[in-house]
Structure 1
Amino acid sequence: MSLELCYETEETLDLPYEEIAEKVIAACLAAEHCPFAAEVSLSFVDDAAIRSLNREFRNIDRETDVLSFPMLEFEAPGVFPEIGEEDKNPDTGEVPLGDIVINVGRVKSQAAEYGHSETRELAFLLAHSMLHLMGYDHMEEAERLCMESRQRDILDGLGYRR
């Protein structure tokens, strides 16, 4: 697994971003039995940047906490598609799984709102987004319950409990 990190905001968290991201992403890939080496791009942005992306890609003109941009099509959550050489990054041999964009300000405010650490909030947003990259969604009640259960299992397994 490889992780490409990009910081597009001056606002920061006093956290080991890369260590947390690598730990959560690897746990998600393992929990879902990802059959290939994957690449994930992770960007940290501010309210204005995520609002712009949300407006452009989802037609929703407001800030959000995290956005996920999957690169693969899934028939069902966690059921990975067949991968050919053409699907792999020719430089790394890994499969680009997708992009995650996290709003740093929301990590802070939501951690305070939910009464847990910024580390736990960042881990939650990463797990949530990784599941989106692997075909999960929460538009229907059954999908939401399944996705929440997977998130909880992954985070609990890493010691990130509420």
Structure 2
Amino acid sequence: MIDFNYETEFVLDNEEAIANWISKAITSENKTEGEINYIFCDDDYLHKINLEHLSHDTLTDIISFDYTMGNEISGDMFISVERVKDNAIDFNVSFEEELKRVMVHGILHYCGYKDKTEADALLMRTKEDEKIAMFHVEQ
């Protein structure tokens, strides 16, 4: 089950399409869908979580809490809409494209992909592109 929660003014206008796409991304990695919660918030909200739970005094676009057990993907993903907007400008992509990248990035972490080394980051980016392309096929 994929659920969307809002702690800011932002609201997805295509929740069903996004949920279907995330489900397909999970299935394409030979995983099953558990409970996945996306919580959209602002920088202040996410900064507090970063300080309280990770002791990081920085802004970030996403913090995810992974509750995956075996092949069943589950977790809570907190996404700063402000960071995504700024990153979209920095990376010269649309807000929608950057949001999809961040959303699927969390899912890929739950699937076991890492991004700490250069090789892992390259594989993660390839997987993100692959999953984003799946959304465009749906439209």
TM range (shorter): 0.7 to 0.9
Distance change >3 Å, CA 104–CA 20, structure 1 → 2: farther
1:41-78 Cα distance to aligned partner (Å, 9 max, x none): 110111111011112222211111111111126xxxxx
**TM-score (ref. length: structure 1):** 0.74
The CA deviation at 1:96 is: 6.2
1:122-161 Cα distance to aligned partner (Å, 9 max, x none): 111111011112222111222212211111111123229x
Q: How does 1:1-162 map to 2 (within 5 A)?
A: 2-10=1-9, 12=10, 15-34=12-31, 36-72=32-68, 81=70, 97-159=74-136
**TM-score (ref. length: structure 2):** 0.85
The CA deviation at 1:27 is: 2.7
Contact 1:24–1:126 under 8 Å retained in 2: no
Cα RMSD of the aligned pairs, angstroms, is: 2.1
Distance change >3 Å, CA 152–CA 22, structure 1 → 2: same
Unaligned runs of 5+ in 2: none
2-side partners of 1:39 and 1:45: how far apart? 19
Contact 2:64–2:106 under 8 Å retained in 1: yes
Q: Highest CA radius of gyration, 1 or 2? A: 1
Unaligned runs of 5+ in 1: 74-80, 83-94
The CA deviation at 1:97 is: 0.6
Contact 1:24–1:123 under 8 Å retained in 2: no
Number of matched pairs: 137
